[in-house]
Structure 1
Amino acid sequence: MNILVAGGTGFVGSYLVPELVERGHDVTALARDPSEADFPESVELARGDVTAYDSIEGAFEGQDVVVNLVALSPLFKPSGGKSHTKVHLGGTQNVVNAAEEHGVGKIVQMSALDANPTGPTEYLRAKGQAEQVVTDSGLDYTIFRPSVIFGEGGEFVSFTKVLTTPYVTALPGGGRSRFQPIWIGDLAPMLAAGVEEDHDGETYEIGGPEVLTLAEVTKLAYRAEGKSVTVLPLPMAFARLGLTAADPIPFVPFGSDQYRSLKLDNTVSNNDIGAFGVEESDLTTLAEYLGVEDRP
């Protein structure tokens, strides 16, 4: 198949594109700056910004499937004049329009757990509205809603380092927010299967093999460096005041949206990995990835 991967040079795309090539597909990676991509020679590179329709429209010609991976991180405030609404909603609308214009048959959409047009954060609202654009289109579609993704090049582990300090640190609510992190090396083959197989009209929640609190993730991250950390609770009311005050400060990476995110669990209600022939025992834990055998 001819497959266009929008956001193909990003974290997830850098794993998915080689996976698709290995499976025998002709892949084009679309990105704002694809020049530094380290892909097999067979991969075509296309330059474009999904928020600017005219810059991407031509890349859709002759494609059978488009995979839309373009995203901003929910862990940090958007910068550079970007917004979740502009990138996730507006970008998805442009991807869908270009796909329909050029007769692309299918879209695989990267969404997020708890995506909802009326969700509590701009990120979740924009992701939910983007899902509506996809499901209302004339395209066959498969939607993935993963929990946080970890792996080389990912932000999840480094996020805990930005948020904390070694040895003694404070976390909002004591770091009780729960995550179900999945390794990119496990997720990429499922995404590829979503491209190849008949999963049309399906939305899949994807999580890893264990649920970890933010405090547990923090301890694992520092333990992998040979350090320990004691987590002290920061009252959520203080966190709300501090992060809300940080909204207009450009060099502070967190704001009120991140505060609201930390009040939410990021776990699946039903892990749909079985749709791709995978069991939880097949998946890599965060501790295994970090080289730490036991849970904190």
Structure 2
Amino acid sequence: MTARDKRGTAAVVGGRGFIGGACVEALRDAGWDVVVVTHNARLAARHDGYRWGDMLDPTTLGPAVEGADVVVQSANFPNYPFEKPQHRHSYLEYDGLGTERLVRAARAAGARRYVYVAGVGVTENPTKPYFRAIRRGELAVADSGMAHVVVRPAFVYGPRDNGINRIIRACRYLPVLPLPQGGRQNHQPVHVDDVGRLVAQAAAADAPEGTFEIGGPERMTMRAMLSTALRLVGRGRPIVDVADRVARPGARLMARLPGPLITPDALDFMLEDFVADLEPLTKHYDLRLTPFLDGLRSYLVR
């Protein structure tokens, strides 16, 4: 691709993360010069194309997105979805207040377009704290005065995900797979590369604005998702239904441990149904959604 074919500069905040990394690759494939914004100041200082930007420190965000035509936000707090409010690692600080900080910085830097990777499940008047934080961020984006797209993914999976892959690793040692409520939550798993491609399309100057949910082509329970993945790698396990009366006290106990496997808020988040309304997406964007088994085979089968 020649310099004349370049679309401009896109700054991806959280570009070293699971979803952010897919956005970086898709944007580059689409012809953008990409700046990866990371909270790791030492790493940013050592690598061309990287800049330091901390969602908790507004003074770092302006320089991080300076010169960007498009700002893409795909930043989660460390150890997501396990909050540590004492360290400001929370939905409020990142998706809520953090988005407000980054929107102000992007607008001041002259960015023309803003793409926010949020999440399925957000309503206009959410009651749960994680959804309230995301909705606060969405409103900040909508009120920014910039052209904007909010991307709401359902359950995202891929080679670097910390969900399905963590379960697969754990089942090397577990004779059974315990799941809260037996894994009956409804999901619509979407491959991370599909999310990246949507973000790259949404970054274009003439792309439709608004809020677009994205999920895969199939709806299934968490139980079915994990059973499919485990069978694919030869680690099928019986699933044990963990009742709520057991799961919640256990989550409260484990939340006190360093690097907890689960917390009460994270348990609530895990028990949500995450399905997408694909009609607006398919109406306005040209995107082939990857079937779940095809997506798994692309990286689990060697």
TM-score (norm 2): 0.84
Cα deviation for residue 187 of structure 1 reads 1.9
Q: What is the distance in 1 between the residues matched to 2:279 and 2:161? A: 22
Match of 1:277 among 263, 269, 286: 286
Instruction: Show the 5 A alignment for 1:106-125.
Output: 106-116=113-123, 119-125=126-132
The residue identity in structure 1 corresponding to 2:57 is A
Matched positions, count = 285
Instruction: Show the 5 A alignment for 1:170-249.
Output: 170-249=178-257
**Partner in structure 2 of residue 26 of structure 1:** 33
Secondary structure of 1:196's partner? coil
Q: What is the distance in 2 between the residues matched to 1:177 and 1:251? A: 25
TM-score (norm 1): 0.86
Match of 1:46 among 18, 33, 51: 51
Unaligned runs of 5+ in 2: 1-7
| Alpha-carbon distance change, 125 to 247 in structure 1, aligned in 2, over 3 angstroms | farther
Q: What is the distance in 2 between the residues matched to 1:117 and 1:51? A: 25
The residue identity in structure 1 corresponding to 2:176 is V
Unaligned runs of 5+ in 1: none
The reply to whether residue 145 of structure 1 matches residue 152 of structure 2 is yes
Q: What is the distance in 2 between the residues matched to 1:248 and 1:135? A: 38
Cα deviation for residue 168 of structure 1 reads 2.0
The residue identity in structure 1 corresponding to 2:291 is T
Cα deviation for residue 120 of structure 1 reads 4.7
Secondary structure of 2:224's partner? helix
**Partner in structure 1 of residue 275 of structure 2:** 267
Secondary structure of 1:92's partner? helix
Q: What is the distance in 2 between the residues matched to 1:289 and 1:61? A: 36
Q: What is the distance in 1 between the residues matched to 2:108 and 2:205? A: 24
1:166·1:222 contact (CA, 8 Å) conserved in 2?
no
Q: What is the distance in 2 between the residues matched to 1:52 and 1:277? A: 37
Q: What is the distance in 1 between the residues matched to 2:132 and 2:30? A: 34
1:206·1:268 contact (CA, 8 Å) conserved in 2?
yes
Identity percentage of aligned residues: 25
| Alpha-carbon distance change, 163 to 173 in structure 1, aligned in 2, over 3 angstroms | farther
Tell me which protein shows more helix as a share of its residues: 2
Q: What is the distance in 1 between the residues matched to 2:113 and 2:51? A: 19
Q: What is the distance in 2 between the residues matched to 1:34 and 1:189? A: 28
